[in-house]
A = this chain, B = another copy of it.
Amino acid sequence: MRIGDLAKRAGCEIVTIRYYEKEGLLPKPARSAGNFRLYGDVHVERLQFIRRCRSLDMTLREIRALLEMRDNPTLDCGEVNVLLDTHLQQVEVRVEALLQLRQHLLALREQCSGARPVQACGILRGLINCNCHVVSAEHSNV
């Protein structure tokens, strides 16, 4: 199976696969006579695992940790739980921040219905004058 087929089976881009290889998440595959990468079912399964974790918004660092555990199946799985709990907690924080952000934007939106000169625009005024403190969502990039 060549890289294009693998990409289709996992629903991701070819470049992403090469990127994962470079990052050490996918093992270096065999090569054809013409230097094409050749994959098997093991790679499909592993890549799907990675993509599933990514769809859960895990970082590659987290996924790397999970893969290592997967590769040592006799270890205790407590760490898996910790990892997931931590991740979940970050998501909770992010949800909270986003909900507040949404409220804030809605309130701001109320302040102008358009068709005025910018000078009188309630939204711009709101952005300039409000002294509320929004929980910033920028760094909780979960």
Contacts and interface: CB of A to CB of B under 8 A. Distances in A.
Given A88-B105, A92-B102, A101-B91, A117 B77 contact: yes
24 contacts: A45-B128, A49-B127, A52-B127, A55-B134, A55-B138, A56-B101, A56-B108, A57-B101, A66-B127, A69-B118, A69-B121, A70-B118, A75-B117, A75-B118, A76-B114, A77-B118, A77-B121, A81-B114, A81-B123, A84-B105, A84-B108, A91-B101, A91-B102, A95-B98
A84 B109 contact: yes
A14 interface: no
The 10 closest A-B pairs by CB, nearest first: A77-B121, A73-B119, A81-B114, A78-B114, A55-B134, A77-B118, A88-B105, A55-B136, A73-B118, A75-B118
Contact of A74 (B75, B76, B118, B134): B118
Interface of chain A, main secondary structure: helix
Interface in A116-132: 116-121, 123-124, 127-128, 130
A134 B98 contact: no
